[in-house]
Amino acid sequence: MKQVNCSKQLMCAAIIFMLGIGIFSCKSTDNANVSVAYFKVGQPVKSGAGNPVSGSVKGYMKSDSSYYITGDTYINALDTLVLQPGAKIYFKGNYNLVVKGTLLSLGIKDKQNYISIEGVKKTDTQGAPAGPDPAYGQVSSGITPWGGILCDSSCKALILKWTHVEYGGNTIATTPISGVKNGQTAWMITFDSPKGIFVLEDSWIYGGVDDPIRIQGGKINIMRNTFEKSGFQGGECINIKGNTVGNVAYNLFIGSGTNGPKASNKGVTTTQTNIYMYNNTMVNCGFRRNESGRGGSMNFEEGAKGNAYNNIMVNCKYGLRIVGATKSYNGNSLVVADTTSLRNHYGYNLNYTDSVAVANQIYPVGFYTFPQTTDFPLSTSYLPANYQVGQVYDGKKAVQASGTNPQFVNFPLPQSGGTLSSISYATGFDFHLKPSSPALGKGYTSFSPLSVVPVSDNFGASTTYGITLPNKDLGAYPNDGTGNQH
């Protein structure tokens, strides 16, 4: 019989008893696997339809269990709620999950978590007729959408990993937190805690009536997520306001109502908004926002700064949009971005277009986005020699320009007609890059992410790929496997 690497078997048994761990294994000479208990705090929350959840809640929701919210539910300021891998929260009406303390949803790849409505079927079909879609919280689609995860100013941490957040955005009758008004449409995630930590990684955000995520202060790291169908008639996937610092990287944004990420310094009191937007992939964004100059891909405005490198934009209504008081965009001094800080902090971005209308807005007309010599396609190949930032130009030479098709493993390019707006979901597609992709090896890596959140598998960015460095390949899916894991 093989010997066990413990001094005495009795001592090993005593350790099992004292720690209260269900399964404990001393390392043996045959390299047996060690069973690790899932993270938990306090007492388990009772699961199942017979134990509805509402009012104050704390402790942990057990792995592979379902929980049904039947009223507004609160995590108090000194409390923590943990969702173990495979836990599912289902809303049974227009209710909110209010976070005044800490919420940790610790899904893993093989056991993903859900914050959703039970039994809803997605309508992810190319060319499906316009009509009620549960993604946008339309009651006529057969569902009653829930409200949102509402994080108050006392929230210490919102950590969502390998978690699906879906079908929220109903109207809030009486607001339970600061930063949200009575009678407004809920954002599926509201984070209004300038001293708090918000980590969203390896997760899925599906639908939303307005912005799926509104951040009104905090330290953030939003990496390797998939955003689909964000905003019914407009809405940024991630709408960032004043007092916010952090990274938005390696995300797939497809079919957003307006932009993928937007950074603004609106409402600032102490800290200038500073967001690094790098290595994202944006597809078919901006077509549900009708106003002139609205919709697109990435946006900086109203005193915000940051950077924007290594992004892929495919058939997005507008390219990188930086608001500035140019001669062709008068009267907007109040919403001007920190153009001085941004001026030399973007580039190495790829724009692929299948229509002249889209190509005419790679550098949005009336805005302050300067052409960069590192952009694809090269701006001098289609802009006039005397081009002035913000002016109208003819972009027909940029349509399907050589070296701009990113060559996704599985996505229909070129697109034509209505498909620029009708494909707003990721199901069935693969946005990794083929070995022949022109986006390989074209990235800029001489900068570091903003390290403003802790690195922790439970309380911050994960220790594996958590705060992922910029990559030599463009987009969210670099070929070294360190990017988006979906």
Q: Measured between alpha carbons, how far is 256 from 211 in angstroms, rounded to an integer?
A: 9
- 3-state class of 307 per DSSP? strand
Confidence (pLDDT) at 331 = 47
* Intervals of the chain under pLDDT 50: 1-33, 327-331
Q: Measured between alpha carbons, how far is 276 from 345 in angstroms, rounded to an integer?
A: 10
Confidence (pLDDT) at 132 = 80
Confidence (pLDDT) at 335 = 82
| Domain extents in the chain | 1-37, 53-433
Which ranges of 84-184 would DSSP assign to H, the alpha helix?
none
| Cβ density class 264-297: b for 16+ within 10 Å, e for less | bbbbbeeebbbbbbbbbbbbbbbbbbeeebbbbb
Q: Strand pairing of 149-151 and 238-240?
A: unpaired
Q: How far is CA 302 from CA 195, 213, 246, 336, in A?
A: 21, 18, 17, 5
Q: Measured between alpha carbons, how far is 292 from 148 in angstroms, rounded to an integer?
A: 29
Confirm if 148 and 168 have CB atoms less than 8 A apart: yes
- Neighbour-count burial of 392, counting CB atoms closer than 10 A to its CB (0-12 exposed, 13-18 middle, 19+ buried): exposed
- Element (H or E) spanning 13, and its range? helix 9-19
How many C-beta neighbours within 10 Å does residue 428 have? 11
262 DSSP 8-state letter: E
Q: Measured between alpha carbons, how far is 97 from 72 in angstroms, rounded to an integer?
A: 6
The residues with which 351 forms a beta bridge, in sequence order, are 313
Confidence (pLDDT) at 333 = 53
Q: Measured between alpha carbons, how far is 89 from 165 in angstroms, rounded to an integer?
A: 10
- Element (H or E) spanning 17, and its range? helix 9-19
Closest CA to 4 of 35, 34, 30, 38: 30
Cα torsion at 374, 375, 378, 379 (round to 10°)? -110
Confidence (pLDDT) at 36 = 67
Q: How far is CA 109 from CA 67, 116, 144, 269, 327, in A?
A: 20, 18, 29, 39, 50
Confidence (pLDDT) at 127 = 63
Polymer length of the chain = 486
Closest CA to 307 of 248, 230, 231: 248
Confirm if 429 and 411 have CB atoms less than 8 A apart: yes
The residues with which 300 forms a beta bridge, in sequence order, are 263, 322
Q: Which residues contact 199 (CB under 8 A, 6 or more apart)?
A: 157, 158, 159, 160, 161, 220, 221, 222, 453, 460, 461
Closest CA to 159 of 211, 202, 111, 110: 202
- 3-state class of 419 per DSSP? helix
Confirm if 424 and 122 have CB atoms less than 8 A apart: no
The residues with which 239 forms a beta bridge, in sequence order, are 214, 262
pTM over 0.85: yes
